[in-house]
Every structure is written in structure tokens, then in C-alpha cells.
Chains A and B, each alone.
Chain A
Amino acid sequence: EAQVTQNPRYLITVTGKKLTVTCSQNMNHEYMSWYRQDPGLGLRQIYYSMNVEVTDKGDVPEGYKVSRKEKRNFPLILESPSPNQTSLYFCASSPGLPYGYTFGSGTRLTVV
């Protein structure tokens, strides 16, 4: 089944403890992206990647890192999480225009 898989689905962590949210797609898509969803703000793009080793900042990249060492994987790294990074995170992939993104099921992160 074609899908974007992100893990974990739920995560509670403490301020400052490094964490990684994994994302994998099995559709051989060129593009991958991370979004965060917050009430009243919609989905805001954190980072996106156009191919292996090619990434760029979205609208809210501060406090996040990404890497794209393989086409199928695009992990999101929070080196020192803070409470304002408590959010619902979505990973997505796309073959490129004219297609939109296919989204994963989401990761609800709470930083206390």
C-alpha cells in the first residue's frame, strides 16, 4: 500500500531532550516535507526536500533540523525541544507538480 509512515504517533518529552520523528515513504517520491499544525494557524511548513541531500527552509524552521540521506526517509530532529514546539506534526511526500502532497497520519508531540 502506497503510504507515508511517521513514528511515533504520540510522544511526550521534556524540555531539552533531543528527539527524532521518523518519516518514510514507499512511493519513490522526489519531494518530502514536514508541517506543524496548531489551532488557528493551519499547517505551517517547517522544511522540505526536493531530493536526496537537497533541503530548504519552510516558514517556521527555527528549532528544527532535517536530513535526506535516502530518498525514502526524511527525519525531523528537535535538538533541544521547548514547550512552544508542542504541536501536531505531519510528514508528507509528493512526486512534484502538478500533484499535491500525500500526508502521513501525524505525530502529536508534547514538550513539558
Chain B
Amino acid sequence: AQKVTQAQTEISVVEKEDVTLDCVYETRDTTYYLFWYKQPPSGELVFLIRRNSFDEQNEISGRYSWNFQKSTSSFNFTITASQVVDSAVYFCALSEITDSWGKLQFGAGTQVVVTP
């Protein structure tokens, strides 16, 4: 069963609009890590953020912010005032401690298209 669900396949916005990407995960572990990666059109995978299950503080980095809610098993990602350079596929990923660390499971990704 898929453990990371990104229900939004594609989101299209006009520049300067905010966009929120949903990520819902499933785990029985109490200790786990969540990640977001960005894949721009050039194809490389770029690490954006990691969060451990004990840290529910929201995080802001420039125009990016992340909302982690254990109660709903969600780790959502918001881009504020989107720009064309934000056009990319964004992946959410989960690593459970009881598995060997090397297992990092990804969601299907959300394609973000920002038009001028």
C-alpha cells in the first residue's frame, strides 16, 4: 500500500498566486522523517526540507512554508507569491525508523505550472 499520497496530480496558477501542495502519509511508527524534493524541468532532484516526527513546528524559508500536522498525518507545502521558476514537480517522501533508514518512499508527485 502506498504510504505517501499526493492527491493533486497537477496544479496550475498564475504568477504571484499562492499554491499549496498536499501530502498525506501513513505509518505506524512513532519516529519517522518526512521530506520534500523539487524536480524542475531540467530533471534533477533537489532536496528542500526534512522534518522529524517529533518536531511539529511549521517552517518558513523565503517564499516556501511547510505545515506539519501529526493529527491528520499531513505535511503540506505552500509556495507564496509563486514565480515561473517554481514550475516543477514536487515530491513528498517518508522514511520510517523501524525500516532500515535506506528505505525512503516517495509520493507520486505534484506538477506545479506557474504561468506569467
Contacts and interface: CB of A to CB of B under 8 A. Distances in A.
Contacts of A50: 100-102
Contact of B108 (A35, A42, A94): A42
B95 A42 contact: no
Contact of A31 (B50, B93, B101, B109): B101
A7 interface: no
Interface string A18-36: 0000000000000101010
Interface in B57-110: 91, 93, 95, 97, 100-109
Nearest to B39: A37
B contact residues, range: 20 to 34
B33 A106 contact: no
A105 B9 CA distance: 23
B11 interface: no
Chain A interface helix/strand/loop/mixed: strand
B50 A49 contact: no
Contacts of B14: none
Contact of B106 (A31, A40, A43, A49): A43
B7 interface: no
A30 B103 CA distance: 13
30 contacts: A31-B102, A40-B108, A41-B108, A42-B91, A42-B107, A42-B108, A42-B109, A43-B91, A43-B109, A44-B106, A45-B104, A48-B100, A48-B102, A49-B102, A56-B100, A56-B102, A58-B103, A90-B45, A97-B95, A98-B33, A100-B35, A100-B37, A100-B47, A100-B93, A100-B95, A100-B104, A101-B47, A101-B104, A103-B37, A103-B45
Interface of B: 4, 6, 9, 33, 35, 37, 43-45, 47, 50, 52, 91, 93, 95, 97, 100-109
